[in-house]
Amino acid sequence: MTQHVVLAVDIGGTKLGAGLVDAEGHVHRHAEVPTPAAEPELGAALTGLIDAVVDSAAPFAAGVACAGPVDPARGTVSPVNIPGWRDFPLVDLVAGTVPGVPVTLVGDAVAAALGEHWLGAGRGARSLLGIVVSTGVGGGLVLDGAAYSGPSGNAGHIGHTVVDPAGPPCVCGARGCVEAYASGPSMVRWARERGWAGDDARALAESAASGEPTAVAAFDRGTEALARGIIATATLCDVDRVVIGGGVAAAGPVLLDPLRTHLERAATLGYVKRVTVAPSTLGRHGGLLGAARTALLAPRPGAPAYA
Amino acid sequence: MTQHVVLAVDIGGTKLGAGLVDAEGHVHRHAEVPTPAAEPELGAALTGLIDAVVDSAAPFAAGVACAGPVDPARGTVSPVNIPGWRDFPLVDLVAGTVPGVPVTLVGDAVAAALGEHWLGAGRGARSLLGIVVSTGVGGGLVLDGAAYSGPSGNAGHIGHTVVDPAGPPCVCGARGCVEAYASGPSMVRWARERGWAGDDARALAESAASGEPTAVAAFDRGTEALARGIIATATLCDVDRVVIGGGVAAAGPVLLDPLRTHLERAATLGYVKRVTVAPSTLGRHGGLLGAARTALLAPRPGAPAYA
């Protein structure tokens, strides 16, 4: 085992993952466990996982991607879908398992965007929006080639940009957020209210692929909102590429085709029209690779402060 | 004259300005001339101005702020309000007047944001949106302390974020852009359609300050749209401060008070609610100082590529 590896950790509401990753993005060891519901099982599962992956190896840095909200400056997390952690000192916990190794925290959507920019569908883009369409709609930004998390760690949160102030109510308290139209549950709810009889976003995508009109209309409505959110992001952040992943995006053309149509219809400015949309190629490994990239790019102790 | 000065140039549709600025932001020489309508007078006025300011001094770098759109990578400009320049090689022109000096180009809104961040109402902010409310609504971003222009040079263009897809038509071809509500001409047009008898945004601000209901309503409507654009920017870019300048913003509380009210009403996410709004303190000098800052921060020839 070379010493030139980093420890990458990816923490979601369903699974905890950890791996050793080298500077080329090769994953040398990898393990996953289900995410326990609460402490102390949660912390114990994570430290056990890290111990097993690190074993006798000596990573020179660690990167941790975690479901948000995260506070990279304080090193704490309060993931919406991990109720057992609120203002939880995740960086301290990880640092305790790999003494002397610097630990960097990043939100999972930013990590996914960074992973795609490094090794996936975002390669070659200068500025990139990564979107995860799933039970919610998350997003992360890579600007001028570097992850941009923002002072509070929440940059790129496209799911809560408002596309119609008269739109449906959103969990955040506003009306007409992208998430209130384009998340899996939002599209399923809308279709069921109009007589579609399925249960989840996967079934809705299958119905849409077979041409069932209500399911097709649900994706059309969701992707119109998503297109408006992408246009707002492109207008403000001047991204040149958008990479879309997540469970709902795995539906492929059922989502991407109407999305591209709505983008072409609604974009008016030249620099916004040039944005290309590509499906994720890393899938759920994007977060782990992005966490690794975060660690690889972090300033090293004792080294000059520039990368 | 110390050698430790940069040449700063600020180019707008009304005036051309140039100055020598040191690392503390002191302006050692400054001159302005009206902007001629067309070539060759335009280029001659600019090179004459630069020659007069530089004289025997030897700036080690030059920063040029110009009305947009600009293309910093190619060094060309096509300012909407300077019809005589389309894809004009501005960097080459300036470089010809100060041989051997590296020249950096930046959009005027980004320069204004950078100036405010350096020496004005944006000091201490980590991420900042600078807005110019005038005949249009422009914007520039400083993210993690550095100007962010984006791959095409258009980042921060808040005036063309859509706040209501059913809103009034905008010059860009979309409907419901911030600029279609909040620019001086948009507010004046709306008020005149409802019987207000004044001519321009300055008169509208005076009417609103005196409590005239239609003028008050015009500012209320304009600032509601501006608030929605700011909320979109804060949601996506996680800015912690907004600095507002430009002719219309010079109205002060008539604009700022309803703007803050609408921000408080419409913001729902914690990290968006924390954003503070401050009036510009540099006014029309922001662009020149931002141009200087751009030059001071640019990589120097022969020096390492990190700042």
Q: Which residues in chain B have Cβ-Cβ distances shorter than 8 Å to A145?
A: none
Specify if B304 maps to a domain.
no
How many whole angstroms separate alpha carbon A291 and alpha carbon A132? 16
Are A258 and A207 found together in one domain?
A: yes
Chain B: residue nearest A228 by CA?
B162
Span B220-249, average pLDDT: 96
Least confident span in A77-81, A164-168, A258-262: A77-81
Chain B: residue nearest A269 by CA?
B172
Q: What is the predicted pLDDT for the residue at B20?
A: 97
Per DSSP bridges, beta strands A76-77 and A70-71 are antiparallel
Are A139 and A82 found together in one domain?
A: no
Cβ neighbours of A147 (radius 10 Å): 25
Per DSSP bridges, beta strands A103-107 and A62-66 are parallel
With an 8 Å Cβ cutoff, are B236 and A156 in contact? yes
With an 8 Å Cβ cutoff, are A236 and B274 in contact? no
C-alpha neighbours within 13 Å on the C-beta side of residue B234: 23
How many whole angstroms separate alpha carbon A118 and alpha carbon A121? 9
Confidence of residue A3 (pLDDT cuts 50, 70, 90): low
Q: What is the predicted pLDDT for the residue at B3?
A: 57
Q: Which residues in chain B have Cβ-Cβ distances shorter than 8 Å to A166?
A: 164, 166
Q: Which residues contact B191 (CB under 8 A, 6 or more apart)?
A: B198, B204, B207, B214, B215, B217, B218
CA distance B285 to chain A (A): 24
Are A261 and A172 found together in one domain?
A: yes
According to the 3-state scheme, what is the secondary structure of chain A? CCCCEEEEEEECCCEEEEEEEECCCCEEEEEEEECCCCCCHHHHHHHHHHHHHHCCCCCCCEEEEECCCEECCCCEECCCCCCCCCCECHHHHHHHHCCCCCEEEEEHHHHHHHHHHHHCCCCCCCCEEEEEECCCEEEEEEECCEEECCCCCCCCCHHHCECCCCCCECCCCCECECHHHHCHHHHHHHHHHCCCCCCCHHHHHHHHHCCCHHHHHHHHHHHHHHHHHHHHHHHHHCCCEEEEECCCHHHCHHHHHHHHHHHHHHCCCHHHHCCEEEECCCHHHHHHHHHHHHHHHCCCCCCCCCC
In tens, the pLDDT along B23-71 reads: 999 999 999 999 998 999 999 999 999 999 999 889 999 999 998 889 9
With an 8 Å Cβ cutoff, are A161 and B235 in contact? yes
**Residue A78 domain boundaries:** 5-110+285-297
- Whether complex ipTM tops 0.90: yes
How many whole angstroms separate alpha carbon A249 and alpha carbon B29? 57
With an 8 Å Cβ cutoff, are A144 and B148 in contact? yes
Specify if B200 maps to a domain.
yes
Are B166 and B266 found together in one domain?
A: yes
Count of A-B CB contacts under 8 Å: 126
Are B68 and B205 found together in one domain?
A: no
Q: Which residues contact A268 (CB under 8 A, 6 or more apart)?
A: B160, B170, B172, B173, B174
Span B97-126, average pLDDT: 96
Are A169 and A147 found together in one domain?
A: yes
In tens, the pLDDT along A27-41 reads: 999 999 999 989 999
Specify if A72 maps to a domain.
yes
With an 8 Å Cβ cutoff, are B148 and A143 in contact? yes
Q: Which residues contact A177 (CB under 8 A, 6 or more apart)?
A: A159, A160, A161, A162, A163, A167, A170
In tens, the pLDDT along B115-159 reads: 999 999 999 999 999 999 998 999 999 999 999 999 999 999 999
Nearest to B251 by CA among B275, B287, B215: B215
How many whole angstroms separate alpha carbon B89 and alpha carbon A113? 35
Are B94 and B149 found together in one domain?
A: no
How many whole angstroms separate alpha carbon A233 and alpha carbon A129? 8
Confidence of residue A211 (pLDDT cuts 50, 70, 90): very high
Are A32 and A181 found together in one domain?
A: no
A229: tokens are 């959110």
Q: What is the predicted pLDDT for the residue at B302?
A: 58
Chain B: residue nearest A162 by CA?
B232
In tens, the pLDDT along B240-286 reads: 999 999 988 888 999 999 999 999 999 999 999 999 999 999 988 99
Distance set, CA A162 to CA B60, B261, B302 (Å): 46, 18, 47
Specify if B305 maps to a domain.
no
Span A286-290, average pLDDT: 96
Specify if B260 maps to a domain.
yes
Are A195 and A230 found together in one domain?
A: yes
Q: At residue A241, does pLDDT exceed 80?
A: yes
Q: What is the predicted pLDDT for the residue at A68?
A: 85
Cβ neighbours of B52 (radius 10 Å): 12
Specify if B41 maps to a domain.
yes
CA distance A170 to chain B (A): 10
A19: tokens are 């791996």
Q: Which residues contact B78 (CB under 8 A, 6 or more apart)?
A: B69, B70, B71, B85, B86, B87, B88
CA distance B118 to chain A (A): 18
Chain B: residue nearest A143 by CA?
B150
Q: What is the predicted pLDDT for the residue at A305?
A: 44
With an 8 Å Cβ cutoff, are B236 and A239 in contact? no
> The CATH number of the domain where B75 resides is what?
3.30.420.40
Quote the pTM value.
0.93
Cβ neighbours of A203 (radius 10 Å): 15
By Cβ distance, the residue of B151, B165, B236 closest to A240 is: B151
Q: At residue B306, does pLDDT exceed 80?
A: no
Q: At residue B176, does pLDDT exceed 90?
A: yes
Q: Which residues contact B203 (CB under 8 A, 6 or more apart)?
A: none
Specify if A52 maps to a domain.
yes
Are A140 and A158 found together in one domain?
A: yes
Average pLDDT in chain B: 94
Where do we find the tokens 């401050």?
A: B278
Specify if A146 maps to a domain.
yes
Are B248 and B129 found together in one domain?
A: yes
Q: What is the predicted pLDDT for the residue at B305?
A: 44
Q: Looking at the 3D structure of chain A, how many domains does it have?
A: 2
Q: What is the predicted pLDDT for the residue at A298?
A: 86
With an 8 Å Cβ cutoff, are A141 and B271 in contact? no
Are A163 and A75 found together in one domain?
A: no
Cβ neighbours of B26 (radius 10 Å): 11
